[in-house]
Structure 1
Amino acid sequence: MSGFNLDFNNTFEGFQKIDDGVYEVVIESAAEDATQGGAEFTNFTMVIRNDLDQPFKNQKIWERVFKAKATGTYNMLMFNTIGKAAGLEPGKTYNTFDELLNDYRGKPVQVFVQNETSEYNGKTYENLNVKKWSPTKFPNVQHQFKQKDNNSGNPMNSAPQINDSDLPF
């Protein structure tokens, strides 16, 4: 690899710590995942709307809903709470859990978030936690999602393209 230069006008600045408060967000996705220790959860990824006058536009908020260790199942209370705030159809029957998770995608909600400190295995962590889910006050969503390409966004989210000819061995 040769013939490249650095452009300091095109850098990743990172994100600011989101302050405690109420934000209008769009649920970008809801997907199942697991911790390194094997604890299963559903991760709700939300983005702070950029079509409204509010701070931290385009930054993401994540909320995890864990399965109960004792039963290996979800307590549907959180899914009902989020579904009600997102305006999902009450009483709707879903054939699969993925079908339910897909129904959350693109829905606007209002969340109250709070920064909290927690401790686990002797380490202290700063967490932004969703404390309340409410229906949006602005249902006409005009949010523009950032385009995902190799030249924008977080460089840690995209793998570089490496050919055998790029390797020194």
Structure 2
Amino acid sequence: MGFKSNQSEAFQNGLKPEGDYECIITAIEERTTKKGSAGLNFTLVIRNDVQGQKYGNSCLFHTIWKKHEPNENDMQVEGYNFAQLMAMGKAAKLPDGKEYDSLKAYCTDLLNKCIRVDLTHEEWNGKEQERINFVNPTKYPECKHKFKSSAPKADSFATKQTGFATPKTNTQADSAIGSLEDFEDVLTDDGVPF
């Protein structure tokens, strides 16, 4: 079977076009950069069940950073930006007013939830990169996304990438959690906006 070249489908500079994407939250991992900045990294898979949406099964990434000067609300979520975490929960339609005994429980509740993100491009250190500007509730709450069968399972990740909340299957959340001291995975500071 042959095909016809269509260069309008090519990524520009390796970036997906700016705009709204319907996604599923598939993993949340706590990571630390070389300079010691901690962040909760969200892995979002672009849904393949939304008609007219391109790039199904591609990943987008979003980080919520631990604040240098956390306020009282931030301290409830281990120093991470409370307002940004609550915006993620609102977009994922978590019940307002629900009590959580830990950040881990909140993150576990976020797994496999559908959200809509606004993707933009920004320049950082002379490089153009993707950035999630806003998170919003999905316009397609009935999810029929089909995950790739070759997708890695949570238990297939290297031990140093222990997830803060990573699914073992499409419907179960991993109960393992690592503390900051357990993490050896180091990111460069190229993507950190401070």
Would you call these one fold, judging by a TM-score over 0.5? yes
TM-score tier after normalising by the smaller chain length: 0.7 to 0.9
The amino acid across from 2:28 in the alignment is A
Query: Could you tell me which residue of structure 2 aligns to residue 105 of structure 1?
Result: 111
Unaligned runs of 5+ in 1: 1-14, 151-156, 159-169
| Deviation string, structure 1 residues 84-140 (Cα, Å, up to 9, x no partner) | 010001111111111111111000011110011112xxxx23221111111101001
Whether 1:141 aligns to 2:134 is no
Asked which structure has the greater CA Rg, the reply is 1
- Cα distance in 1, alignment partners of residues 107 and 29 from structure 2: 7
Q: Normalised by the size of structure 2, how large is the TM-score?
A: 0.64
Aligned partner of residue 80 in structure 2, secondary structure: coil
Q: Distance in 2 between the 1:30 and 1:89 partners?
A: 19
Alignment of 1:8-157 (within 5 A): 16-53=14-51, 54-71=53-70, 73-119=79-125, 124-148=126-150
Amino acid in the other structure paired with 1:27: I
Q: Deviations over 1:45-84 (max 9, x none)?
A: 1000011121111110100010112347122000111100
Provide the C-alpha distance between the structure 1 equivalents of 2:17 and 2:45, rounded to a whole number of angstroms. 14
Tell me the CA shift for residue 149 of structure 1: 6.4
CA distance in 1, matches of 2:145, 2:34: 34
In 2, Cα distance between equivalents of 1:108 and 1:149: 18
Deviating above 4 A after TM superposition, structure 1's stretches of 4 or more consecutive aligned residues are none
- Residue 148 of structure 1 and its aligned partner are, at CA, apart by 3.4
- Larger strand share, 1 or 2: 1
User: CA–CA distance in 2 between the matches of 1:78 and 1:35?
Assistant: 20
Distance in 1 (CA, whole Å) between partners of 2:67 and 2:139 is 33
Distance 1:25 1:125 in 2: 25
TM-score by length of 1: 0.73
User: Identity over the aligned pairs, expressed in percent?
Assistant: 31
Please give the per-residue CA displacement for 1:8-37, whole angstroms capped at 9, x wherever unaligned.
xxxxxxx85211001110111122111122
Separation of aligned partners in 1, 2:47 and 2:144: 8
The two structures, once aligned, show a CA RMSD in angstroms of 2.0
Shift of the 83–149 alpha-carbon distance from structure 1 to 2, 3 Å rule, reads: closer
| Number of residue pairs the alignment of both structures matches | 134
